Every structure is written in structure tokens, then in C-alpha cells.
Structure 1
Amino acid sequence: MRSDVVRLFQTLPHSCGYFAERTAQNLVIDPSSPQLDQLYELGLQRGYRRAGGHVYIPHCPSCRACIACRIPVDAFVADRAQRRCLKRNADLEVRTEAAGFSDERFALYRRYLQWRHPDGGMDDAQPEDFSRFLHTEWSPTRFIELRKDQRLLAVAVTDYCEAGLSAVYTFYDPDEGSRGLGTFAILRQVAAARELGLKYLYLGFWIAGHVKMDYKIRFRPIEVLRNGLWQRHEPDIVS
């Protein structure tokens, strides 16, 4: 590192992507920093997240619902439902590919957003949105593809960092909902981290009780970042 000074910028208030009635703000590491790839590694361990070329953490004045979480992969044990998910998807081919745009990937991405976020501002994605959001020239990103008879069913966008793998985003075929592809993607990322000897799979932010974000707590054990310290989450902890 050439400098110990890290510049942070605070965004203007904007609509919260999780609670329609709330506004949100983020702290963003200087996106023009030539050390951003190194800062990302450090930021990941401090609860930061990557979206496109931005490394950020929620910094909302009146809300602390977003809690960074990670799976300690050596300790993780799949529960009964997760074992069933593995069995249900045993017929899929798993490929780890270079990150990048393709018509096939974009078509799946667009279908997924139209199903997952109707009228939410993301459902009319354009090709440039795909790359702008999922990866950037400095990010250590790979695409874990799930295929059935060559047909692309899901893509788990994954950053391969020394601190661990980071599950950036997963999109999948809405018509294959019975497979539990989102869960299967996380289980495959856990397996990939183990194979590489990495300690953690970072899952981004957990929001207790939120219909789209609470699923992360089903991966046990899981650690959450509270008051600057990572600690094992226990069910009786009130968030």
C-alpha cells in the first residue's frame, strides 16, 4: 500500500432498496483510488460490499438493519433442507468461468430481474447495466455457472479474494424455482472456498425478518459484524 490515507465519500440520501418508506445513505471508498483492489480486500473484512466499481457500506442515520455476514466454511454443516437441495441439483454441471458479458448470460439476467424486481427500476436492464453492476476491470471476479444439458440455469457472480470468496450476486432461471438455485449457488460457493483453503464466504448484508434477505441466516454457523467485531450469530440474539 502506498498510502495509509483512505478517502471515504458519503452518498446523498436515496430511496432504500429494502424498505420503501425509508431513505438510505452509503459510505463509499474513493472509486478513483489506484489502490482500490487492495482496499477492497481490507474493506471486505470490515463489512464493505462491492457493486460494480464501488466498494461501499450502508451508513444510514436512523437505521442499522443491514448487518454484514459471512460463513466460516470449515465449520459449516449443511442442514437437512440444504442436503436435499444438493441432491436435487446433483444433475447440474458446475463451471467456473471468466467474468464477462455474453448474450446468453444477459438474457438470463434480464429475465431474472423482470421476475425478481418487477417495477423496481432494475427490470429494464440494458447490456451496459450487466457489466456495470456485476464486475469491473480491477475486481477478482469469476462466474460460477450452473448448467443442465448445456443450458444455462444460473450464474453466481463471485469475487475470489485472499480474505475469502464474496457472493456478489446470483441470478437464475425463474422457471426452475423448485430447484432452490439460490441456495445451491451458496452451497457451491462454500465448496469452492473450501477447495481453495479460504476461511470465509462473505454473503453481504443480512436483514432480520426481511423477505428477501433473511434467508442468509439459515446457513449455520454464520458470523455477523457487530460493533466492528465478527461474532457467531446465535438464534436468541435480538437484532
Structure 2
Amino acid sequence: MTQHSPKSPQFFLTSPSPCPYLEGQYERKVFTHLVGEKAGEMNDLLTQGGFRRSQNIAYRPACETCRACVSVRILVDGFAPSKNMRRILRVNDDLVGTEHKAEPTSEQYSLFRRYLDARHKEGGMSEMTVLDYAMMVEDTHVPTAVIEYRKRGPDSFVTGRGEGPLVAVALSDRMSDGYSMVYSFYDPDMPERSLGTWMILDHISRARARGLPHVYLGYWVEGSRKMEYKTRFRPQEHLTSAGWELYKG
């Protein structure tokens, strides 16, 4: 078995493959393994440097002819919700999010499958089995939480937990300077709730409550309709060749 030192990680480069965001482009990624006692610290440093995590792998684009993927993080202290976001907060005021250990459940997978079949039937994750889902959640060596969202119940004020069926789920890394949203999914039959937007707003609230300055949203690609929503959360910073800079677009 190959051993990877957390103090001197080895980096590898993938072969070119079709870009899922820009037609006609090919993507390559540089990646390393996140293992060992220092995996959490390494994940912090790499995420702050533009990497994303998938299971025990940290990766970032290394495309030869394109630099369209831009790392995005929300500045929590300066954030104020827009009029539409305030409406979304009101609509979902009956929901409660509870942080759990990174452990998969059959209820999560059932919701995950409904979400994929409704929203990403042709995507690269569409064939994921229950075992694939379990690996996505629990194959982590960094501080990771599964946040389950359910409707507020009579005892929620006391227990801090929601009740009833699962409405949405977020898989998120807890970092020294914020939350990094790894993946999220939700009930596709509740479009009026705008649950994807609401989960980001909830992460901003969680980061603010912990005194953490950032929420990392992953990559934004200008011109990709899939990515447009990310620039709605302002102020935010984009990682450039000169470092993190305030986005003014």
C-alpha cells in the first residue's frame, strides 16, 4: 500500500477528459490524498489555495488551455440577504438543520436518488449506488458533518432538532476559517422553498454563529448557467493569480 506523508503530500495529474461545464473544452486536475493526523490542516490549506475535496482526495483544475474555474468564498461578516433571499428565509422558517457525524443512512440515500433522478439524470453521479453514496459521505479524514434538515416540531425549541421526513442534506467540511460545502441535495418536489439557496444561507448563519469568516462554495465558471447562483451571495472573494480578491462583477 502506498504511504502518503501529510507533511509532504504527493501530487498527481489526471488525463484530459471532456469538461462538464464548457462545451468543447477538456479538463485536467491535479490531486493529492488527504490522509493521516494532519489531513484536516492540509485540507484547510489546500481549500484556501483553491482545492476542493471529494472523499479523501483534494483536487483543483489544471487545464492546459482554460482558466475558467474560479474558487469562490462568501465573506460572512459583510453578507446581507437580498429581498428574494429574505423571502426564502421566511418560507423555510419551519425547517431545522441538525449537524451529525459523517455517517450515511438509507433515508439520506433515498432522498439523494430522488434528487439525482429529478435534477441530474444525465450527470456523472446519476449511476451512484448506495455503496457509492456511503463512500462519498464517510470516506473522509477531515472534520466533516452531515447536516440534515427537517420540519420544526413541538420539541425542536428544546432539542434543537427537526422532526418528520428528511427535506434536505448538506455534506460540509468544518474548517478553521469557515465551512466548505462539499455537496448538497434536497427534495425535488418542493421548488417553492428554493432549498439550494436556503442551505447556503443556513451555512452563512452557522459560520457567523461560530465567528468564522468564510463559506466556501467551490468553483464558479463564468458563462455556465449551472454556476450563476454562486455570484448572488455578496460580498464574496474570488481566487486569482494575485490571491483572494473581492468580486465586483
| Worse overlay, 183-192 or 35-44 | 35-44
- TM-score, normalised relative to structure 2: 0.88
Aligned to 1:176: 190
- Whether the 8 Å contact between 1:73 and 1:201 is mirrored in structure 2 is yes
Amino acid at match of 1:63: C
Q: Does 1:97 align with 2:100?
A: yes
Return the offset for 1:34: 6.1
Counterparts of 1:128 and 1:187, CA distance in 2 = 30
Aligned to 1:231: 245
Return the offset for 1:170: 0.7
Return the offset for 1:31: 4.9
Return the offset for 1:33: 6.4
CA change 1:88–1:69 in 2 (3 A) is same
Specify the SS of the correspondent of 2:226: coil
Match of 2:145 among 125, 142, 145: 142
Return the offset for 1:20: 4.3
Counterparts of 1:3 and 1:101, CA distance in 2 = 26
CA change 1:55–1:228 in 2 (3 A) is farther
Counterparts of 2:165 and 2:177, CA distance in 1 = 32
Counterparts of 1:168 and 1:44, CA distance in 2 = 11
| Worse overlay, 20-29 or 58-67 | 20-29
Specify the SS of the correspondent of 1:133: helix
- Whether the 8 Å contact between 1:44 and 1:163 is mirrored in structure 2 is no
- Whether the 8 Å contact between 2:104 and 2:138 is mirrored in structure 1 is no
Return the offset for 1:72: 1.1
Aligned to 2:227: 213
Return the offset for 1:228: 4.4
Match of 2:76 among 34, 54, 73: 73
Q: Within 5 A, what are the aligned runs for 1:1-239?
A: 5-31=8-34, 35-148=38-151, 149-235=163-249
CA change 1:8–1:228 in 2 (3 A) is farther
Amino acid at match of 2:70: I
Counterparts of 1:213 and 1:3, CA distance in 2 = 32
| Worse overlay, 217-226 or 11-20 | 11-20
Counterparts of 1:158 and 1:111, CA distance in 2 = 20
- TM-score, normalised relative to structure 1: 0.92
CA change 1:128–1:3 in 2 (3 A) is closer
Counterparts of 1:29 and 1:228, CA distance in 2 = 23
Cα deviations by residue, 1:108-164 (Å, 9 ceiling, x for unpaired): 111111122212232222012113223424121111111125111100111111131
CA change 1:93–1:34 in 2 (3 A) is closer
- Whether the 8 Å contact between 2:36 and 2:141 is mirrored in structure 1 is no
Amino acid at match of 1:122: M
Return the offset for 1:89: 0.4
Counterparts of 2:28 and 2:123, CA distance in 1 = 18
| RMSD (Å), alpha carbons | 1.8
- Whether the 8 Å contact between 1:45 and 1:163 is mirrored in structure 2 is no
Counterparts of 2:221 and 2:56, CA distance in 1 = 24
Counterparts of 1:29 and 1:58, CA distance in 2 = 12
Identity of aligned pairs, percent? 37
